Every structure is written in structure tokens, then in C-alpha cells.
A and B are shown apart, each in its own frame.
Chain A
Amino acid sequence: MSSKTKPDKTTIGLLALIVTQSACSVFFLSDAVADIIADGMAALNDVHLHVEMVATLSLIVAVILEGRFLVRLLRRNAHAERGLSIASGALHDLMEQYFHEWGLTPSEADVATFAIKGLDIAEIAEVRGTAEGTVKAHLNAIYRKSGTSGRGALLGLLVDDLLAQPLIERKEPPKDVPKASGLA
């Protein structure tokens, strides 16, 4: 299971950054709030405080963006580390883009990835630690949202997309995918 594999350095580094910056945000924000409480209305005219607040808010926004990036990283690793070899990140990005367009929940996206990789319902249930009934419900939602009739059609959609364009041009979309659905 994912909890038994060693997390990679990027994940740990990103986590450390998020924790550190969160702690700094707490410190700066509490400091600014204390100033506002101490000075009351006069604080509103304090330019220094304004600058402080903008800096603090920027830091908080950075933490949020890092958090979203971490979620994407964790999802990708969760699928790659199972030895299922999602292989190229390009295919994974393409799938993620579809899942995003269809409005799949994180659970549904996880199930869809495994379904595309060819795991059967019992195997998916085992990997995810849920009941088979739950996986079936997720699959139904996936087929409904994607407008496909089943696993074959779902896979066909991806294959179609991969074959539709010449391989050389195929290099373009994956580059844009992380930006489009990730940090936007």
C-alpha cells in the first residue's frame, strides 16, 4: 500500500516547505491581528500594516497553491508507485485532464485510473480499501459523467485521442495540461 512505500524527496521537500510557510503565516497573521487589536481604528491608516498584510496574504496564497500542487503530486505517485506503470506522465496528464472535464471526484478519478489500467472490480476495491459495491457505484458515476457505456468505451476514448493526432504534435497538449488543471 502507499503508506508502506518510501515517499520521494520532492514530496517531502514540498511538505516541509508548506509546513514552514504555514507556521510563518500563523506568526505574521497573529502579529498583524494583535496590532489591529492594540491600535483599533488607527491601524487602518498604518501603511506599514497594509504592507505587512499584503505580504502575509501572498504567503498564504503561496501555501494554498503549493497544497494544490502537492495533491496532484500525491495522486500521480499513488498511481505510479503501484508498479502499474502509468509509464509516461503524458498519458496520466491526458487522463487527469479528462477527469477534470467530466467533474470526477478524487475517488472516481482514482477508480477510473485503475479501471483504465485494467484492474477488475475486486482488485480496485482491494487497492482502495473499500467494498466492491462502492467501486461499482464509482464506475457507474464515471460512465455516466463521461458519457461512455463501459470500460471498453472509456478506454476507446483515450486511445482515440492518442491516435487522432500525429505523434509529433502529441507532445504539445501534455505540456499545457499541468498548468491548465493544476496551478490555475
Chain B
Amino acid sequence: MKNVKVWDPLIRIFHWSLVICFISNALITDPESQLHRQIGYVVVGLVAFRIIWGFVGSRHARFRDFPPSISGSVGQLSDMATGRKRIHVGHTPLGALMIYNLIVTLIGIAITGYIMTTLRFWGIEWVKELHEICVTWAEFSVVAHIAAVVWESRRTGVNLPKAMVTGSKTLPTEV
């Protein structure tokens, strides 16, 4: 076993702040309230930070470290199907797709949420509908994300939730 630093402190603060904001706005706050909007702005700030950090951040935080890759994703699925354990230090290829999916979906929620508050789009049905579809997709994605993290932690024997708290992955030395 060896410990490898993977996630820098800012990435971890970003992740857990986003968790709190998402839970708040998806389940707790009143969608019509000022608080719901303010939390929405915080999410926009967090996502903006994440995108900037994707270019200038630490090694595994950079988009270059996890480019969207179909062949990589199929490779990871093949590993799952055949029980092979290939350890990825940073994001796995499928994990990377989830990150991009969540970033795009959150931007969609933010844009539709914001224009609902503008005079021009206020009360227009398709904007509200689109906002809700994006939210439903985000909720599904979050559930899939959690399920995948649990599944991959068990499959590879690397505790991924712990890594997002402490910043280090404990990898088996034999690989």
C-alpha cells in the first residue's frame, strides 16, 4: 500500500461546497425564495472556479489530466466486464465524463434559473420546464455518481470517498 496525493485542498473544498449547495437547492430551499437564487449564484461561482482550475490547477485537477475519451471509457468498461483492475490515479475515464456532464448540467440549471428571474423570460413555460429537466438530470447524475463511486471503490479496493476528504488515495503497491 502506498499513499498518493491526488486532490488538492481547493478541489476538495469545491466538491463538498457544491454538495451542500446542490442538496440545499434541490431538496430544501423554496425555489421562489431569495435564498434559492443566492445559493444558485454560489454554485455559478464554484463551477467558474472549477473551470479555471481545470486549466491552472494542480496536476489531477486539470482537464488535460482527464480528457473526454471514448476509447478510455470502453477500456474501463472492459476492465469491469473482465474483472481487471487498472488503477487510475486521478479521474477514471468514466469519472471524467461524469465531471463534464455535471459541469454542463449545472451551467444549464444556472442559465435557465437566471433567465427565469429576468423580465423578458419571467413566467414563460419552456424556461421553467427546461430548468426542471436539467435539475432532474442533475439529480439522476448525482445518484449515478455516488453509485459509481461506491462500485469502483469496491471493485478496485481504493477508497474513493476517503480520497475526496483527505486528498490521498491509498493504492495497492503491487500494480
Contact = CB atoms under 8 A, between A and B. Distances in A.
Contact of A11 (B74, B76, B79, B83): B74
B120 to A, nearest CB: 27
A107 to B, nearest CB: 3
A131 B133 contact: no
Interface residues of B, number: 25
By CB atoms of chain B within 10 A, which of A3, A15, A23, A26 has the most? A3
A58 to B, nearest CB: 19
Interface in A16-65: 23, 26-27, 30
What class of interface size applies to chain A in its complex with B? Answer: 20 to 34
B93 interface: yes
Contact of A105 (B77, B83, B133, B137): B83
Interface string A97-141: 000000001111110000000000000000111110010000000
Interface stretch (B14-22, B36-44, B84-92): B84-92
28 contacts: A1-B75, A2-B78, A2-B79, A3-B79, A3-B93, A5-B71, A7-B70, A7-B75, A11-B74, A12-B74, A30-B140, A71-B81, A72-B81, A74-B74, A74-B78, A74-B81, A75-B78, A78-B78, A78-B82, A105-B83, A106-B80, A106-B81, A106-B83, A128-B82, A128-B84, A129-B86, A129-B175, A131-B174
Interface of A: 1-7, 11-12, 15, 23, 26-27, 30, 70-72, 74-75, 77-78, 105-110, 127-131, 134
